Chain A
């Protein structure tokens, strides 16, 4: 083929772009979402025979159809946002923390343990204080262990954090059996349903607390990363560990400190999941959000403010897709298919933002 050509230039040429201006980058992303919606509509129409407008409408209804749905959507966004924020300092440092799931789980387990074991022994205020401290502590420890291994012996943190997830899951499975009610059922059920001991206080309604916490953490982390000395150190280590060493930064200390923060914030998510929302703990309580958060954080280019939108986008689509499968009586796997399509486009479009695809010019093409 190419021998027939006068030159050996390939048909498609991929080159690294200069940084796209922000409005163009967001234009590409908007286009990707639009394209994703079109493909989803085609798939849905093929399977349901309904018109695309009513499918989009259903997506919207799924997220905002009623006041309750809106609150639940916002609550889900805030939990995903907190986990994403938690992972961000680690990623900014190029420390591949894919252990968010486990860090959230141990935070959740610590919260549940406090509620079950000392729920009726100490006053509620004290109990909640202990829950906060222990969940944050548990999450921090779960982040700390891989960090120490990385700092001292340069072990692979991707594997270490991933394996910590499994340990956390099995720990929760073990304690589920210890605390199950009734015996043999494999379920802890709602903890302290009669006394509400250790249930986090409600702000106005039961959904608002997580949202407020998420907003506070967003602002705090934004300031921490952008304006504090710690934040600057994290960035430098992320850019180049050697540079950091050269200018006299204690890289190991920074890694450990940052992972402590990362794990601690995941612990907060665990605290909210158990103390504020579910009031129980299960092995699936984190629901894969420790992994989804990786995507949210990267899509937002580690900017806490942008992360509000990326986490919102993912939750919005998930809930919309879920509604489609309920309304049109489809198997729930269908919503997973839709979410998959949408994520494919969103992640795929990042490629076009970083790289330029040029085709071989027409006139050069020899017939």
Chain B
């Protein structure tokens, strides 16, 4: 009987909560963040201005098991902790109507900012943004904000090609070490790369990585295989194995599971990963990983909402603002790698080194003089924007999401998955 009464009571409570609707939840959120305000003031002792009533909701495609999502989840926690905000996180939200429902639920729950992390979430975020004009919707890796014209819908990405180029340098140093100690000849310096889709973001990524490698080892070549999924542990593992069997002596990846690093560790092949360190599964073969640090952008979002300033429609994080990072070097890194990376990094920040410098690569044997990229998304894949400026391809300038999708000489695509 007691249990029944308790159940009944709780149901009444739920009903009353639901009945109160939005006003109640705002009041509630004020209350909770006020409590957090106190605690954070106590712990930090520093008189940082702590907001009273802001909530941030996050939508993630997978959960912590995906290196891609883990990178976002960690950034969300870190950025929110700076302001004493408790983030509301929804994980495993597929790229369908569920994303719209999740975004709408977060907006209903009183969130001022809703952030989604996966490319396929974009259209559903736009739908939600149209419906909730007072809530800011931010979407990572998307392509439509600069043409959509919605004041509360924003895209963000980072100049990750810079990071991949630096990771490529680390890989190049490793290859050079192997050539120097006679493990391989310069002609055997073949790299393998596991990509998700034959998509501009991936192509831009492996090309910049390859250019980084070739800045150290000019004889290097690369083979790329695609899995057709952003997260498929088995396919990534098999892809890595296939490349190793093909004679690739170093592996890198742009897919989100631990599949490739695991396969490399088993085979004893050095590897460069993405999204964060994979040293835990590949302690002996991990060289370095590039990643986007989303904390600067998320901080910008929260600050903009607090101060009432405008959020850029399309934001590109850089090395300089801390959005593009390399992890600590792993045990497999060659001697002198850190110095080589630091030198190149300084050049990039200073604006002297451009990753897609047209003098460093050819397409079909020709040096590039003009490249129309597909910057504005449309169903006909129309390449409408000239992106070569001052002798280099200006990646992520006209839109934060990468658009470099050329196949340069020296890279062989084993398959294509569109």
Say yes or no: is A48 at the interface (Cβ < 8 Å to chain B). Answer: no
Q: Quick check: A183 and B381 within 8 Å, CB to CB?
A: yes
CB distance from B230 to the nearest CB of A (A): 8
Say yes or no: is B95 at the interface (Cβ < 8 Å to chain A). Answer: yes
17 additional A-B residue pairs with CB within 8 Å, beyond A53-B10, A184-B203, A193-B126: A54-B10, A65-B14, A68-B104, A177-B417, A181-B378, A182-B381, A184-B199, A184-B418, A186-B196, A186-B197, A186-B418, A190-B126, A278-B97, A282-B95, A326-B90, A332-B63, A332-B91
- Using known A-B contacts A56-B7, A72-B101, A280-B123, determine if residue A187 contacts B95 with beta carbons closer than 8 Å: yes
Interface residues as binary, B356-379 with A (CB distance below 8 Å gives 1, 0 otherwise): 000000000000000000100111
CB distance from A342 to the nearest CB of B (A): 17
Q: Quick check: B105 and A66 within 8 Å, CB to CB?
A: yes
Interface residues as binary, A53-70 with B (CB distance below 8 Å gives 1, 0 otherwise): 110110011001111110
Interface residues as binary, A122-161 with B (CB distance below 8 Å gives 1, 0 otherwise): 0000000000000000000000000000000000000000
**Complex: how many Å from CA A69 to CA B106?**
11
**Complex: how many Å from CA A197 to CA B418?**
26
User: Which A residues touch B90, using CB under 8 A?
Assistant: 326
**Complex: how many Å from CA A53 to CA B229?**
40
Closest chain A residue, CB of each to CB of B126:
A193
**Complex: how many Å from CA A332 to CA B198?**
29
- Using known A-B contacts A182-B200, A193-B123, A332-B91, determine if residue A57 contacts B14 with beta carbons closer than 8 Å: yes
CB distance from A157 to the nearest CB of B (A): 31
Contact sample, A vs B, 22 pairs, CB 8 Å cutoff: A53-B6, A53-B10, A56-B7, A60-B10, A60-B11, A64-B18, A65-B17, A67-B18, A67-B21, A68-B104, A68-B105, A180-B418, A181-B377, A181-B381, A182-B374, A183-B200, A183-B381, A184-B197, A184-B199, A186-B229, A186-B418, A279-B97
Q: Which of B7, B108, B122 contacts A189 (CB 8 A)?
A: B122
Say yes or no: is A185 at the interface (Cβ < 8 Å to chain B). Answer: yes
Closest chain B residue, CB of each to CB of A189:
B123
B-facing residues in A271-288 (Cβ within 8 Å): 277-280, 282, 284-285
User: Which B residues touch A282, using CB under 8 A?
Assistant: 95-96
Say yes or no: is B92 at the interface (Cβ < 8 Å to chain A). Answer: yes
Q: Which of B96, B104, B203 contacts A280 (CB 8 A)?
A: B96
Say yes or no: is A49 at the interface (Cβ < 8 Å to chain B). Answer: no
Say yes or no: is B51 at the interface (Cβ < 8 Å to chain A). Answer: no
Say yes or no: is A329 at the interface (Cβ < 8 Å to chain B). Answer: yes
User: Which B residues touch A185, using CB under 8 A?
Assistant: 119-120, 197, 199
Q: Quick check: B63 and A331 within 8 Å, CB to CB?
A: yes
User: Which B residues touch A60, using CB under 8 A?
Assistant: 10-11, 14
CB distance from B399 to the nearest CB of A (A): 11
Interface residues as binary, A350-364 with B (CB distance below 8 Å gives 1, 0 otherwise): 000000000000000
Binding site for A on B (CB under 8 A): 6-7, 10-11, 13-14, 17-18, 21, 63-65, 89-92, 94-97, 101, 104-105, 108, 119-120, 122-124, 126-127, 143, 196-200, 202-203, 228-229, 374, 377-379, 381, 405, 417-418
Q: Which of B11, B199, B229 contacts A183 (CB 8 A)?
A: B199
User: Which B residues touch A278, using CB under 8 A?
Assistant: 96-97
Question: Nearest 9 CB-CB pairs, A to B?
Answer: A184-B199, A190-B123, A332-B92, A278-B97, A187-B120, A189-B123, A183-B381, A57-B10, A186-B197
**Complex: how many Å from CA A203 to CA B92?**
30
User: Which A residues touch B91, using CB under 8 A?
Assistant: 325-326, 331-332
**Complex: how many Å from CA A230 to CA B233?**
49
Give the bracket for the number of chain A residues in contact with chain B: 35 or more
- Using known A-B contacts A331-B64, A332-B91, determine if residue A277 contacts B97 with beta carbons closer than 8 Å: yes
CB distance from A42 to the nearest CB of B (A): 14
Interface residues as binary, A32-64 with B (CB distance below 8 Å gives 1, 0 otherwise): 000000000000000000000110110011001
Closest chain A residue, CB of each to CB of B228:
A186
Q: Quick check: A65 and B123 within 8 Å, CB to CB?
A: no
**Complex: how many Å from CA A69 to CA B104?**
10
Q: Quick check: B374 and A183 within 8 Å, CB to CB?
A: yes
User: Which A residues touch B65, using CB under 8 A?
Assistant: 331
User: Which A residues touch B127, using CB under 8 A?
Assistant: 190, 193
User: Which A residues touch B105, using CB under 8 A?
Assistant: 66, 68-69
**Complex: how many Å from CA A282 to CA B97?**
11
Q: Which of B92, B108, B199, B203 contacts A66 (CB 8 A)?
A: B108
**Complex: how many Å from CA A280 to CA B203?**
26
**Complex: how many Å from CA A76 to CA B88?**
24
**Complex: how many Å from CA A180 to CA B378?**
10
User: Which B residues touch A177, using CB under 8 A?
Assistant: 417-418
- Using known A-B contacts A66-B18, A183-B199, determine if residue A329 contacts B89 with beta carbons closer than 8 Å: yes
User: Which A residues touch B64, using CB under 8 A?
Assistant: 331
- Using known A-B contacts A53-B6, A68-B104, A186-B418, determine if residue A181 contacts B119 with beta carbons closer than 8 Å: no
CB distance from B310 to the nearest CB of A (A): 24
**Complex: how many Å from CA A181 to CA B143?**
10
User: Which B residues touch A183, using CB under 8 A?
Assistant: 199-200, 374, 381, 405, 418
User: Which A residues touch B199, using CB under 8 A?
Assistant: 182-186
Closest chain A residue, CB of each to CB of B60:
A332
User: Which B residues touch A67, using CB under 8 A?
Assistant: 18, 21
User: Which A residues touch B7, using CB under 8 A?
Assistant: 53, 56
Closest chain A residue, CB of each to CB of B90:
A326
CB distance from A344 to the nearest CB of B (A): 22
Q: Which of B10, B94, B104, B417 contacts A186 (CB 8 A)?
A: B417
Closest chain A residue, CB of each to CB of B3:
A53
**Complex: how many Å from CA A108 to CA B126?**
23
CB distance from B191 to the nearest CB of A (A): 21
